[in-house]
Amino acid sequence: MASSMAVACYIIVLGISVVGLKGAEAQRAFFVFGDSIVDNGNNNFLATEARADSPPYGIDYPTRKPTGRFSNGYHIPDFISQALGAESTLPYLDPELKGEKLLVGANFASAGVGILNDSGIEFVNIIRTYKQLQYWEEYQQRVNALIGPEQTKTLINEALVLINLGSNDFVNNYYLVPHSPRSRQYNLPDFVKFIISEYKKVLRRLYELGARRVLVAGIGALGCVPGVLITRSTNGECSAEVQRVPTLFNPQLVQIIKELNSEIGSHVFIAVETQQMQMDFIINPQRYGFITSKTACCGEGRFNGIQLCTVTSNLCPNRDLYAFWDAFHPSERACRLIVQQMTSGTQEYMYPMNLSTILALDSKKN
Ligand SMILES: *[C@@H]1O[C@H](CO)[C@@H](O)[C@H](O)[C@H]1NC(C)=O
Ligand SMILES: *[C@@H]1O[C@H](CO)[C@@H](O)[C@H](O)[C@H]1NC(C)=O
């Protein structure tokens, strides 16, 4: 592990120094789309219940203050920015995102959203996926005004993109209430087929809007998270029913990624096997330095699995020892480990290639 990380760091450093030769503003931009796993504060600016802007969220962030990230500190996009040698992107709705800051990229993600518009409907004002894409178009116009159309196109084409969607189509839709409208409309395999076909349209749209390197995160080990264990597990075992979700969804996601890449004739889309990464912690937490992967650090009830993490919740003293920060979201340390796997993992984790390979390849092209 240590030596493969050293190799990864070497490649990243090399990649950056090559890119650096191109000139001042040539640093690779980063764009993020999706849900609460990757939202870094857009929902702070919206009237919605889906928010992480009060303590103890952010307790381990450098400022020790909540930021809107569903984490005790940094989350997955922050560690990817670090791997790019870049500062973290700002949320798109943040008024600070203007001028030169725009060139770093932007985060359009919004906690609660899914692939479908009716997912997370109970959160009312969230930035649904189609709207996140519209905001990206608006962003591109703003950058156009700043650096001109040619440089904007280069910035977009050379950027790294991350998208994380799907869990809320189950948690906050299909399984939200017994006999939910979607569960009456579709059995689980047919529902998965339906959302996968909708997801393919979203990915195609990202390509049309200029994305050329897109990390597409699959659904994590949804049946094993504290928020699901609380109602569906007797002794902490994963819910076999809910585990069908990633088991059905992820291989079909890889399938559409292969189809899109072969249509385009290039490895634009990269599958991130989040479920595989999380299962490693779940099967053997101690191996990764966690004392548990069943109980959340912050929450209430069995496994601290009640959705809310607030000032009155149980809070563990050492967040690094927990794979889950709250009922649904990985701890900062779990996020760091996940991004290490993204950077240097084998094809089992990153298909068809990992981030260090991407960075090395793309720096050669330029
Ligand atoms: C969501 O709503 C928008 C705007 O009405 C529509 O264009 C889009 O196709 C819808 N997406 C899905 C997956 O239904
Ligand atoms: C992933 O990254 C490491 C370097 O960190 C590299 O050795 C490896 O071959 C890469 N690709 C795959 C498919 O494992």
pLDDT digits (tens, 9 = 90+) for 296-345: 999 999 999 997 899 999 999 999 999 999 999 999 999 999 999 999 99
| Per-residue pLDDT tens digits for 41-81 | 999 999 898 999 999 999 999 999 999 999 999 999 999 99
Residue 111 one-letter amino acid? A
Clarify whether 320 is annotated catalytic. Answer: no
Mean pLDDT of the chain: 92
If you average pLDDT over residues 165-171, what whole number do you get?
Answer: 97
**What separation in Å is there between the alpha carbon of 118 and the centre of ligand 1?**
9
Tell me the ligand closest to 4's alpha carbon: 2
For ligand 1, atom 10, name the residue with the nearest CA.
117
Q: What is the pLDDT of residue 156?
A: 98
Residues of 22-41 as b/e, b for ≥16 C-beta within 10 angstroms? Answer: eeeebbbbbbbbbbbbbbbb
Ligand 2 pocket residue status of 308, Cβ below 6 Å: no
Beta strands in the chain (DSSP E): 30-34, 105-107, 160-164, 214-217, 269-272, 298-299, 314-315, 350-351
Residues with CB under 6 A from ligand 1: 116-117, 130, 198
Which of ligand 1's atoms lies nearest the C-alpha of 202?
13
Residue 26 pLDDT greater than 60, yes or no: no
Residue 3 pLDDT greater than 50, yes or no: no
Contact by Cβ (8 Å): 132, 33: yes
Tell me the ligand closest to 6's alpha carbon: 2
Q: In order of start, what are the domains of the chain with their CATH numbers?
A: 2-273+352-365 (3.40.50)
Ligand 2 pocket residue status of 10, Cβ below 6 Å: no
**Residue among 339, 357, 359 to mutate when testing ligand 2 (max atoms within 8 A of CB):** 357
Contact by Cβ (8 Å): 183, 133: no
- How far apart CA 128 and CA 173 sit, in angstroms, is 14
**What separation in Å is there between the alpha carbon of 295 and the centre of ligand 2?**
32
Residue owning tokens 């099967």 = 283
Catalytic: which of 60, 88, 169, 329?
329
Q: What is the pLDDT of residue 356?
A: 96
Q: What is the pLDDT of residue 267?
A: 97
| Per-residue pLDDT tens digits for 215-254 | 999 999 999 999 999 999 999 999 999 999 999 999 999 9
If you average pLDDT over residues 135-156, what whole number do you get?
Answer: 97
Q: Is 112 helix (H, G, I), strand (E, B) or coil?
A: coil
Contact by Cβ (8 Å): 73, 66: no
Specify which of 19-23, 117-121, 131-135 reaches the highest per-range mean pLDDT: 131-135
**What separation in Å is there between the alpha carbon of 239 and the centre of ligand 2?**
33
Clarify whether 75 is annotated catalytic. Answer: no
Q: What is the pLDDT of residue 273?
A: 96
- How far apart CA 293 and CA 285 sit, in angstroms, is 6
Ligand 2 pocket residue status of 14, Cβ below 6 Å: no
pLDDT higher at 26 or 217? 217
Clarify whether 39 is annotated catalytic. Answer: no
Ligand 2 pocket residue status of 4, Cβ below 6 Å: yes
**Apex 191 CA angle, 334 and 130, nearest 5:** 70
